[in-house]
Structure 1
Amino acid sequence: MTTSPEPKPWPVMSLAEAHALMTAPGTQFEIEEVSIRGVPTRVWKNAPATLRDIFLAGRSHGGKTFLVYEDDRATFESFSRAALAIAHALLRDGVKKGDRVAVAMRNLPEWPAAFFGAALTGAIVTPLNAWGQGAELEYALNDSGANVVFLDGERLDRLADGHLGNCKALTRVYVTRDTRAHADARVHRLEEITGAVNDWGRLPELPLPDVSLLPDDDATIFYTSGTTGAQKGALGTQRCTGTTVFAGLFSGQRAFIRKGEPVPDPAARTLQRASLVAIPFFHTTGCQSILAGALYGGSKLVTMHRWDVEQAMDLIEREQITVAGGVPTIAWQILEHPNRERYNLSTLESVAYGGAPASAELVRRIKQVFPAASPGSGWGMTETSATFTHHSGEDYVRKPDSAGPSIPVGELRIVGEQGETLPAGVVGELWAKGPHVVKGYWNKPEISAETFTDGWVKTGDLAYLDDEGWLYIVDRKKDMLIRGGENIYCTEVEGVLYEHPAVMDASVVGLPHKQLGEEPGAAVTLKAGAEASEEELRAFVAERLARFKVPVRILVLDETLPRNANGKILKKEVKKLLGVG
């Protein structure tokens, strides 16, 4: 009779031990200290130094499939030829290092080609929110001073009602998937440069532009989500994206090191890593983490015209997707879909999400439904060039309420009202520092000075660190409610609502009160086929939290809560649903 081996204890190696081992001299993730804008900063010694280095790493993957959109497919090599064709066209247009080149379109294959084509010229690439209306696109184009913009037909239509005419700095507009004639002489078809996606492989080989690029050169402007106030353009460097790419590689390997297992050899994989992309490329996570990471590592990216859960499951089966996710709602939709078992989803190795709080139940459900898939999450913001902390695997199962620990080139502080660093377990404002923190906000020196200091970004998040260095986000500083002198953290109440088995989405906001100042209200979305009344949900919260934290009103909805393109719930819109504002 044979007996099963005893399971290894978790973790085999502490976080500090794993970091020390993985960053030792001579390793892939060796760390060195450099001065960034006068501030001593830890950096990855071997990370890709520029967007051009990421591009060249991607080209080395040759004939592997890189981009899939409906019937369009591009290999790494054909993509590279399209990006170089765009780069040389921009040089002919007079674009030079430091000029701003904007991109505003759906997650089409042309998006990455335009982004990296512009990057190869040394331009500061400026992705714009494709969900934005004409006035919002006009604002970003004028604020950035973009000389050139790449659009799809839908975005061009939004700019047509006078907005394009107000963008005086624009000298050239390239539009894809649009065959109409346009009165504006600046408008040209992108296909005149690249041809159709499936023909990119026939483009001639062109040399790399002869442009000097250094790690701390300006590289990108990503506009903040704009959930409150005017959009701000976060100015990132070449190093920012390279750091984010390496952070993703590091965190994946760390999970094996912590388990005491050898890191799998990527060359030994029989199945190409493939991601179903549900996050817009114009979002820092979609671009710097997913797109740049896939290009560097040789992964396939599959995009959709718009999110549809049944089509997503079909694509997972057909394209043998290994990584899926986006925001927690997307993960829930797959898990709870009545037709899920009709599809072969066994290739999934990771279900990762961010942009919104997720319940501990979601972690358990992922492991239950997809035993071979690792749940993953993390914390980050536009100002940190995507994910700053990474949380996955057994660590996530063990601490499902946490956003994970920082990577070793990043630093986190919890800061009190007087600027003092607070000890473990005490809530304060989260500050972050690292080579992937952006330089500041484009054309906004005063706001930059308020937000960035000595390499640190003041995030506006209320959080605490535990004794092991794991981060716990408590709330947005501006979202904390004060009810009659008592503090209420919205995420705490949302977390309890997420524990209810019928709730898929939850948002807590402040409702004005004449005597108390404000009191909590909530809107929730129920899972498909589930039922729960307002009274039941209020009673559920009351059993778990102090009475003053119980929402005085809970709006129960069938449709998903209003979100921006980055997956963040729009609390202003939630307030409107509750009759406020």
Structure 2
Amino acid sequence: MPLHRVRSMSAMSPEAAVAHVVATNPTFSVAPTVVRGVTYKAFQNIPPTVPSLMAAGKAQHGDGALDYLLYEGERWTYGEFCTEVRRVANVLHGTFGIGKGDRVAIAMRNYPELMTLVLGISATGATVVFVNAWWTTEELDYALRDSEAKLVFADGPRIERLMPLVDDLSLTLVGVRDGEGMVGHDYTALQTAASDTALDVTIDTDDDFAVMYSSGTTGHPKGVVQTHRSAVSAVFSWLMQAVIAPLVTPPEEGAPEPLRPSALVVTPLFHVTATHPLFLLSLPAGAHITLMRKWDADEAVRLIQAEKITRFLGVPTQSAELMMASRKAAVTLETLDYLGSGGAKRPGAQVAQLAESFPNAGIATGWGMTETNALGIGMIGDDYVKRPESAGKLHPPLQELRLLDDDGNDVSLGELGEITVKSPANMRCYLNKPEATAETMQDGWLRTGDLAVMDSEGFVTILDRKKNIIIRGGENIACLDVEGALHRLPDVIEACAFSVPDERLGEVVGACVELREGAVLSHDEMAAALEGHIAKFKTPQHLWTQHVPLMRGATDKLDRRGVRAACLENQEAKT
């Protein structure tokens, strides 16, 4: 992959650099391509599938000899990692009969095995089902029924939650790490005994790669179906930025060669923020991966220094905590050249503070969705410092962007419209939800539900969301999901969930409920009653109660914004 340093006599504009790379670098050659009846701009010469990214990155990883993965003192070279992936694929195929058309679920915290399983499952032609590790048994039940995954690789806590479902759903469980010894199959024993020869499986670039669940306004999460083409299109759109960057900002004469790319993974690998622009991108980019078991800002500072980490991508809360931890340690983390945020909007005031604390790093922001394989809008460095409230510009060269009104018409420059994107990185569909798919995907254009304005330079600023989604530290929470759980409580007549500003997490869940006459409900009672029905991060952190009907609008629908405003004016919430 063309990641060598490029020296330019003079700086190019970003647009000229994109045109130059597309025209002169065969890897990034673009041409109109028909996918499922829709014509897209698509790369012509990139690896066709997710497992083929491994071979594409071998040379960038020292022909497999370089260190690739670090976890809690355990290290894998790239060659050792790829060998384990092949063994996993043989276990899936030979022991469990997994192949094209099957779906295999992964339910665990950030372990190295999650990474080998993603590639091993996809190498058989089967589809990876990413399961949120924080879900309860009820939530796991929904996703496994929806995806029809019968084989699940899980760690200990997830096995405990899955055990009540085994008979009813005919599940086969494989224990990973602290899950070994709890069920009939153990990951270590299976993969160690397996062959490391590559499977001979024909996978089409438009076959399904993964189902990744994303909260929506319908309460239950939607299974976003990602294809191999959509995932690798996103990966190579990001990879192209590394080729464009030195053309736009040429390195100074005599400047040292940059460090090898090295990423610290601090967000869950069951979300696109970690899987796609960190893990999958690391394969062709020749990047080293350091995997944190659990977020700890002080430990992150130590790892960045010890492992010469160059890339940090987390939710805004983690950037802020990293900044505080580095100040406490009196270090500037000089190896960092990229400090990005995803999953939620970073507070504008934080941008300049981060730039001052990490002078060698380009402070970056980005907007993307599970439905776009995380590809979308972004910016870095001076552009971001000058526009801290903006989300940035569209990542070239495949994407197209429109801002639409409620009738589907393009809005004028500077007017509010719904972000609508078209690219081969878009999802194929929502699993088992044809109506939701038709509402969201129209002739290749994906209507995102995010409302924004765009200026004359192409910078997009997101101002609101059509969807009733709370983004708590990067985790999407559907208001209807919370409300459905609250309605389980016998004294609750009606419930309204909404976001409450939070200095650390950006937003947390608040709720106002109408109780039956004479009933009393404390926050602790509510939390105890919801335990086991929804994940803890969805449980309202702030609760308001009343004995009169909740506020309604002119059409007699629940006035969510009005309820929220009234509650936030009266901060006597039970917390």
Rounded to whole Å, the distance in 1 between the matches of 2:49 and 2:252 is 30
Distance in 2 between residues matched to 1:465 and 1:252, nearest whole Å: 25
Q: In the alignment, does 2:457 pair up with 1:468?
A: yes
Q: Relative to 1, partners in 2 of residues 1:476 and 1:15: Cα closer, same or farther, differing over 3 Å? A: same
Give matches, 1:446-465, under 5 Å: 446-465=435-454
Structure 2: stretches of 5+ with no match in the other structure? 1-9, 480-495, 506-535, 545-566, 568-572
Segment drifting more, 268-277 vs 390-399 = 268-277
Distance 2:86 2:308 in 1: 29
**How many Å separate the matches in 2 of 1:521 and 1:314?**
34
Where in structure 2 are the equivalents of 1:37-76 lying within 5 Å? Answer: 37-60=36-59, 61=61, 62-76=64-78
Cα distance between partner residues in 2 of 1:101 and 1:333: 35
Equivalent residue of 1:207, what SS? coil
**1:259 aligned onto 2:237:** no
Residue 276 (structure 1) aligned with residue 284 (structure 2): no
Inter-CA distance 320–47: structure 2 relative to 1 (3 Å threshold): same
Give the alignment of 1:142-291 within 5 angstroms: 142-160=145-163, 162-168=164-170, 170=171, 172-178=172-178, 181-182=181-182, 187-195=184-192, 206-225=196-215, 229-260=219-250, 269=257, 271-291=259-279
Distance 1:287 1:262, change over 3 A: farther
- Residue correspondence of structure 1 range 479-494 to structure 2 within 5 A: none
Match of 1:163, SS state, is: helix
1:554 matched to which residue of 2? Answer: none
In the TM superposition, what whole-angstrom CA distance separates every residue of 1:516-559 from its partner, at most 9, and x where no partner exists? Answer: xx9x98533269xxxxxxxxxxxxxxxxxxxxxxxxxxxxxxxx
Of 425, 431, 434, 1:436 maps to: 425
Check conservation: 1:87, 1:118, Cα contact below 8 A: yes
SS at match of 2:134: coil
Match of 1:417 in 2: 406
TM alignment of 1:349-360, pairs within 5 A: 349-360=337-348
Partners of 2:56 and 2:447 in 1: CA distance: 34
Equivalent in the alignment of 1:316? 304
1:129 aligns with 2:132: yes
Q: CA deviation at 1:75?
A: 1.3
- C-alpha contact 1:102 1:127 (8 A) present in aligned 2: yes
Does the aligned pair in 2 maintain the 1:58–1:76 contact within 8 Å? no
Give 1:251 shift.
2.5
Per-residue deviation, 1:220: 0.9
CA distance in 2, matches of 1:54, 1:249: 12
Are the counterparts in 1 of residues 155 and 180 from structure 2 also a CA contact under 8 Å?
A: no
Cα distance in 1 between the residues matched to 2:424 and 2:277: 15
Percent identity between the two aligned chains: 34
Q: In structure 2, what is the equivalent of residue 371 of structure 1?
A: 359
Aligned to 1:393: 381
Closer, same or farther: CA 361–13 of 1 in aligned 2, 3 Å: farther
- Separation in 1, partners of 2:253, 2:405: 40
Distance 2:215 2:500 in 1: 22
Q: Any residues of structure 2 matched to 1:321-360 within 5 Å, and which? A: 321-337=309-325, 340-343=328-331, 345-360=333-348
When residues 180 and 253 of structure 1 are mapped into structure 2, their CA distance, relative to the original with a 3 A threshold, is closer
Aligned-partner SS, 2:378: strand
Distance 2:214 2:499 in 1: 26
Aligned pair count reads 483
> Which string of whole-angstrom CA distances, capped at 9 and with x for unpartnered residues, describes residues 240-298 of structure 1?
11111112112333333333559999xx9573321111111111121122110112212
* CA distance in 1 between partners of 2:499 and 2:237 (Å): 38
Secondary structure of the equivalent of 1:206? Answer: coil
Alpha-carbon RMSD across the aligned residues, in angstroms, is: 3.2
User: Residues 156-183 of structure 1, C-alpha deviation per residue, up to 9 Å, x if partnerless?
Assistant: 11212x1222223x3x32111237644x
Tell me the amino acid that sits aligned with residue 96 of structure 1.
Answer: G
SS of residue matched to 1:208:
coil
Following superposition, the deviation at residue 193 of structure 1 comes to: 2.0
Unaligned runs of at least 5 residues, structure 1 = 1-10, 196-202, 481-489, 495-506, 510-517, 528-568
For 2:520, the equivalent position in structure 1 comes to: none
| TM-score (normalizing by structure 2) | 0.77
Which residue is equivalent to 1:498?
Answer: none
Match of 1:525 among 503, 518, 526: 503
User: Match of 2:97, as an amino acid?
Assistant: G
Per-residue CA deviation, residues 96-148 of structure 1 (Å, 9 max, x unaligned), is: 11210111111111111111111100001111111111221222112111132
Query: What is the aligned partner in structure 1 of residue 102 from structure 2?
Result: 99
**Aligned mates of 2:254, 2:240 — CA distance in 1:** 13
Q: Segments of 4+ in structure 1 off by > 4 A? A: 179-182, 260-265, 569-572, 577-581
2-structure distance, mates of 1:126, 1:180: 21
Query: Counterpart of 1:88 in 2: which secondary structure?
Result: helix
Q: 1:89 to 1:264 in 2, by over 3 A?
A: farther
- Classify the secondary structure of the residue corresponding to 1:472: strand
Paired AA for residue 476 in structure 1: R
* Contact 1:428-1:464 within 8 A present in 2 as well: yes
Query: Quick check: 2:100–2:126 contact (8 Å CA) kept in 1?
Result: yes
Aligned to 1:23: 22
Which residue of 2 is the match for residue 576 of structure 1? 543
Find 1:80's aligned residue among 74, 79, 82. 82
Q: 1:179 to 1:33 in 2, by over 3 A?
A: closer
Could you say what secondary structure the match of 2:375 adopts?
strand
